[in-house]
Structure 1
Amino acid sequence: MEDRGNEELTEDEVIQQRAAKRQKLMQDLKLKGIVGINNSVQSENNNDPESNIQEHSTDNNVLAQTDNNVLSGPQQDMQASDSDSDSDDMFDNEEADVEVKNSNPNSGKHLQLHESMLDNWDDVEGYYRIIPGELIDDRYQVMSTLGRGVFAAVVRAIDLSNNGSGETQVGDNGGATTASAGGRKDRSTATAKNGSTGKNKVETNLVAIKIIRNNETMTKAGLKEVEMLEKLNARDPKHVRNVVRLLRSFEHKNHLCLVFENLNSNLREILKKFGRDIGLNIQAIRQYSKQMIQGLDLLRECEIIHADIKPDNILVDDSKTVVKIADLGSALEYNTDMEVTSYLVSRFYRAPELLLGLDYDFAIDMWSLGCSLYELYTGKILFPGQTNNQMLKLMMELKGKVNHRMIRKGKFSLSKDYFNGDMDFISHETDKVTGEPVGKVIKDVGPKESLKLKLRGMETPGTEEYVLLEQFVDLLDRMLALDPSKRIKPQEALTHPFLDGF
């Protein structure tokens, strides 16, 4: 590249300059034997670690192997998820897996970067440049990129230590396998689905590593997440209350890294792969509901508000029967730094008290979970508003008008955003003639329908599933109470007929 003296370089030029330097250094170091490179690790395309991204595939036959076809469900149309901000999901499909092909973790050859490459470890936004095959913390060999969000990038890795506590997976030459989840006693031995005993197999400890951006604000948030996860893990030493397990944390090249148990998917992916156009079976919804509410109960006990419950942030194990709440990047400690804001939580799952600017508590997570469960069962987003105003309108059309006490107390209620002085709702719409935004006063905003009507016909009358559906509708109604003081709490929900005795 032409030398331009002290003239400021563009971002593309900076990247090209770094790439050229990296290529030269890698070549020099390789010749000197300083860097060990596994021949199975593909070199970077144009030295951009994201350029080798491939579409990750999943064996759809797993649906047929699931007991009682538990994931199939009622026929409905699937709509895409939306949010006001980028997600930091541990399994984000927008960045598919970058796999290390034919890598042998026992070969003793792993990619280690020389100290002279310090200025090339990060991209211009502070994300760590992930290189498949790299050895992190002298222990974890990076296998694939799982996703990248606002706060961090997430990779799947093999824990090469003798005391690795990740998921034990046994495999043979591409054969289908099952995996133990979290080292629980009833799943301590992994066995190939083809019935073999695992003889002559290679055992690996898989983990997921969240690599926080090299940024003071992000690092501070990451340390807070570690603190909350450690609190949750300590409260649940047997790991049975459905919150993802943090194994350890460490620093790697100025990046805080969080090591989690390996879980292969999330409920957004499950819905896309097995519930597109049909939703999930009511039995699966029942099973998932109980586990997620157990997770909310643990969060409440530890006085933690998750603040971003949605299908993307509920991880699923390989059997598709165990789910765990994950991604506490937005979580808050109750009564600590709880700023009143209408943009907390992803929009489709945002509770009405947040929209109106009221004080909030753990009840916002129960609302988000109610929205998520409806979506999992039907394949449709319950409140697909494109703005907060539209969101509140849809909520009131289903559940009735927000009570006047909430309107009076809300920081944002009595304004052009929602209600006028007579407490009539102002709907933000577009004039069909001029195309200009207008405010339409609606005196009778709802309810116009009910959850029972929306879900009518989803199950056959006289069947066990129909009885479960009626119970599910009642539970959803309680989870989606507009008044947070009347919204069902986790302990109450666990004794609801839909979940009690299950």
Structure 2
Amino acid sequence: MADKKPKRNSSKYCYYDEQKAKRRKQKSRIRSQTPPLPHRSGTSTEELLLKRDSLKKQLQKFKHISRNGGNQHTEENRKRKYTDGKDGKQKRYSEDKSKNSHGQQSKSAPSKSNIEIASESEDEESIIEKRRIQRKQLLKKFNQSHDDNHSKNTESIIEKNNGGNDQKLTDANPTSAGETDDFTDMFSEKDDFKIKDLLKVDKNDFTNNSTLTDNWDDHEGYYKIRVGDVVNNRFTIKDTLGQGVFANVVRAQDNGQGNNYVAIKIIRNNELMYKTGLKEISILKEVNEADPENKYHCVQFLGHFMHKGHLCLVLESLHIDLRCVLKKYGKNHGLNMKAIISYSRQLLLALRLLKKVGIVHADIKPDNILVNERKNILKLCDFGSAAKIDENEPTPYLVSRYYRAPEIILGIPYKHGVDLWSSACTIYEMTTGKILFTGSSNNKMLKCFMDLKGKIPNKLIRKGKFKDQHFNYNYNFLLHKKDEFTGRDKLVEVTNINANRDLNNELRNCCKNMTDKEERKMTQLKDLLDKMLTLDSSQRYSVADCLKHPFVQDVLTK
């Protein structure tokens, strides 16, 4: 062989030859253990080139198919994501996994991955359609069986009722036929889900449950009045009379005592108003106890009760208030002289009763004076602002603004004179049909007072707690105005204030074509109002003085 070398004669190299022989044997053993080389087929290069061209053509075909059908597969996959349940999640997971695996193999064999994706999507669509058809069939069978059971139950109940048994048809079947519409297909593509009425509340539950106060009150705490409601199991609400700061008032029929009409004052549902209502009850009881024969023209208090968290005061019912009488019979010209004298006398009698028991009404105005149906009896009502004479505290917003006395605005301690001032403003309004003082604020009200009566004395100003809001250190009046250009508030010092209104002319202009006796009465009325409208309350006419005045004492004859 070629590997063999010629033998050397020298013994020097014998040892090395033996070692080389051993190495050759080991190499031959290792070569025998290695696997043989792959056997090449006898294919030529031409055949390989033809195979490559055919593969290129197939790749172009699959690319064209994937471009056209790719959008459809993506839309279908989106639908599956929203419509399928747990099965859909698993399928999407498997699809994503398969897509990733195909994506990795796309470089080597993209044609096979496209074929597999298309076949899998078609199989899934067919399976989903079959399942939908099965579910629809099951739902139809369930609905038919449910309707048959419901019809059988209702027919049996109707037969029982016709047989003479006094049984009600309510709750015949706990699951009515209409409830079958609530069963929906959670895998359907249409969003036709319906909201179920989980709580079906009977209307009677609201009327009988007094703890559900939110359903009876508005956002300000007023009771929501419903005509026809029965309160306290006795009074049927017939009409709404009005609403004030503290309460709303209704006319109701007393089903317990001869179906007489009463007025119910329903106090607002909060703690402050509740305490004010309790105070009004105590004052009304004291006033009624001082007038057992009902001669002093204060409204009668009949009782009280609680309803839906509201304190309710039961009062004597009259026909209409004086404000409505003036709008109907005396707008812009006032009432006739006979009515003015009668109403003034009755109002002053009510003030005499309040002075007797030591109470200040503190809110006298036409709205709080009631008149009966015959229009010959007047009564004072609404004692929500009333207080004992020793409990009053200076506050600039007591009494409605147009009827507010100057001592209240200045912060001077007040007594019964504030009611006389308000009564004078009311009598003027009965005579002329117009409001006497129409200031838009306390500051403007003081200006109106001085336009009629002249400047307020410095001695009176010094006593005022709120004098610095309206007068400077020289006791000159500070008129609050708005700047014409900037619109900001500014103070204008008024040094000279003179009376520029004539009360006598104002009274006579509204009462034309008067007789001589009415002319004399008008002169007496002007004198009475002047003395009732004295700026200093210590020099103002008292109730007793007013009742002794000729305008009240002398009877108007024909």
Q: Taking structure 1 as the reference length, what is the TM-score of the superposition?
A: 0.68
User: Any idea what the Cα deviations from partners look like across 1:74-130, whole Å, max 9, x if unmatched?
Assistant: xxxxxxxxxxxxxxxxxxxxxxxxxxxxxxxxxxxxxx6345755523333322232
User: Any idea what the Cα deviations from partners look like across 1:230-271, whole Å, max 9, x if unmatched?
Assistant: 100010111110111111112223221100111111111111
Q: 2:532: which partner in 1?
A: 479
The AA in structure 1 aligned to 2:379 is: K
User: Any idea what the Cα deviations from partners look like across 1:121-156, whole Å, max 9, x if unmatched?
Assistant: 333332223222122112111111222222112111
Q: How far, CA to CA, are the matches of 1:361 and 1:250 in structure 2?
A: 32
Q: 1:270: which partner in 2?
A: 325
Q: How far, CA to CA, are the matches of 1:489 and 1:116 in structure 2?
A: 50
Q: 1:322: which partner in 2?
A: 377
Q: 1:22 to 1:260 in 2, by over 3 A?
A: farther
1:346 pairs with 2:400: yes
1:313 pairs with 2:368: yes
Q: How far, CA to CA, are the matches of 2:397 and 2:486 in structure 1?
A: 30
**Contact 1:265-1:316 at 8 Å conserved across structures:** yes
1:389 pairs with 2:443: yes
1:338-417 matches, within 5 Å, as 338-413=392-467, 415=468, 417=469
**Contact 1:459-1:465 at 8 Å conserved across structures:** no
Q: 1:9: which partner in 2?
A: none
The AA in structure 1 aligned to 2:233 is: D
2:297 to 239, 242, 259: 242
Q: How far, CA to CA, are the matches of 2:198 and 2:351 in structure 1?
A: 49
Instruction: Identify which of structures 1 and 2 has the higher relative contact order when contacts are C-alpha pairs closer than 8 Å and 6+ apart.
Output: 1
Q: 1:116 to 1:212 in 2, by over 3 A?
A: closer
What is the DSSP-based 3-state SS (H/G/I as helix, E as strand, rest coil) of the residue aligned with 1:455? helix
Q: How far, CA to CA, are the matches of 1:436 and 1:252 in structure 2?
A: 48
**Contact 1:22-1:120 at 8 Å conserved across structures:** no
Q: 2:387: which partner in 1?
A: 332
What is the DSSP-based 3-state SS (H/G/I as helix, E as strand, rest coil) of the residue aligned with 1:498? helix
What is the DSSP-based 3-state SS (H/G/I as helix, E as strand, rest coil) of the residue aligned with 1:126? coil
Q: 2:344: which partner in 1?
A: 289
1:9-28 matches, within 5 Å, as 24-26=201-203
**Contact 2:235-2:255 at 8 Å conserved across structures:** yes
Q: 1:156 to 1:409 in 2, by over 3 A?
A: same
1:177-216 matches, within 5 Å, as 204-216=259-271
Q: How far, CA to CA, are the matches of 2:415 and 2:433 in structure 1?
A: 28
Tell me which protein shows more helix as a share of its residues: 2
Q: How far, CA to CA, are the matches of 2:272 and 2:519 in structure 1?
A: 50
User: Any idea what the Cα deviations from partners look like across 1:186-231, whole Å, max 9, x if unmatched?
Assistant: xxxxxxxxxxxxxxxxxx3000000112211111100100000010
Q: 1:467: which partner in 2?
A: 520
Q: 1:142 to 1:408 in 2, by over 3 A?
A: same
User: Any idea what the Cα deviations from partners look like across 1:157-187, whole Å, max 9, x if unmatched?
Assistant: 000113x5xxxxxxxxxxxxxxxxxxxxxxx
Q: 1:153: which partner in 2?
A: 248
Number of aligned residue pairs = 358
The AA in structure 2 aligned to 1:500 is: Q
Q: 1:439: which partner in 2?
A: 491
Q: 1:121 to 1:470 in 2, by over 3 A?
A: same
What is the DSSP-based 3-state SS (H/G/I as helix, E as strand, rest coil) of the residue aligned with 1:256? strand
Deviation at 1:313, TM superposition (A): 0.5
Q: How far, CA to CA, are the matches of 1:426 and 1:261 in structure 2?
A: 46
Q: How far, CA to CA, are the matches of 2:397 and 2:249 in structure 1?
A: 25
User: Any idea what the Cα deviations from partners look like across 1:319-369, whole Å, max 9, x if unmatched?
Assistant: 111111110111111111x22111111100000011111111110010011
**Contact 1:154-1:210 at 8 Å conserved across structures:** yes
**Contact 2:211-2:308 at 8 Å conserved across structures:** no
Q: 1:21 to 1:251 in 2, by over 3 A?
A: farther
**Contact 2:480-2:492 at 8 Å conserved across structures:** yes
Q: How far, CA to CA, are the matches of 1:352 and 1:319 in structure 2?
A: 36
Q: 1:148 to 1:449 in 2, by over 3 A?
A: closer
2:552 to 493, 496, 499: 499
Deviation at 1:384, TM superposition (A): 0.4
What is the DSSP-based 3-state SS (H/G/I as helix, E as strand, rest coil) of the residue aligned with 2:550? coil
Deviation at 1:482, TM superposition (A): 0.5
Deviation at 1:298, TM superposition (A): 0.8
1:424 pairs with 2:476: yes
Q: How far, CA to CA, are the matches of 1:22 and 1:273 in structure 2?
A: 51
2:221 to 126, 132, 135: 126
The AA in structure 2 aligned to 1:445 is: I
Radius of gyration: which is bigger? 2
Q: How far, CA to CA, are the matches of 1:478 and 1:319 in structure 2?
A: 31
The AA in structure 2 aligned to 1:376 is: M
Q: 2:122: which partner in 1?
A: none
User: Any idea what the Cα deviations from partners look like across 1:31-53, whole Å, max 9, x if unmatched?
Assistant: xxx89xxxxxxxxxxxxxxxxxx
Q: 1:380 to 1:461 in 2, by over 3 A?
A: closer
What is the DSSP-based 3-state SS (H/G/I as helix, E as strand, rest coil) of the residue aligned with 1:438? strand
**Contact 1:233-1:245 at 8 Å conserved across structures:** yes
1:223 pairs with 2:278: yes
Q: How far, CA to CA, are the matches of 2:471 and 2:307 in structure 1?
A: 51
What is the DSSP-based 3-state SS (H/G/I as helix, E as strand, rest coil) of the residue aligned with 1:499? helix
- Percent of paired sites with the same residue: 46
Q: How far, CA to CA, are the matches of 2:274 and 2:200 in structure 1?
A: 29
Q: How far, CA to CA, are the matches of 1:273 and 1:155 in structure 2?
A: 21
**Contact 1:399-1:450 at 8 Å conserved across structures:** no
Q: How far, CA to CA, are the matches of 2:327 and 2:225 in structure 1?
A: 27
The AA in structure 1 aligned to 2:479 is: S
2:356 to 301, 305, 310: 301
What is the DSSP-based 3-state SS (H/G/I as helix, E as strand, rest coil) of the residue aligned with 1:210? strand
RMSD (Å) for aligned C-alpha atoms? 2.1
Q: How far, CA to CA, are the matches of 1:215 and 1:128 in structure 2?
A: 11
Q: How far, CA to CA, are the matches of 2:329 and 2:382 in structure 1?
A: 23
The AA in structure 2 aligned to 1:126 is: G
Q: 1:217 to 1:271 in 2, by over 3 A?
A: same
**Contact 1:349-1:367 at 8 Å conserved across structures:** yes
1:17-166 matches, within 5 Å, as 24-26=201-203, 29=204, 113-115=208-210, 117=212, 119-162=214-257
What is the DSSP-based 3-state SS (H/G/I as helix, E as strand, rest coil) of the residue aligned with 2:553? coil
Q: How far, CA to CA, are the matches of 2:414 and 2:494 in structure 1?
A: 27
**Contact 1:22-1:117 at 8 Å conserved across structures:** no
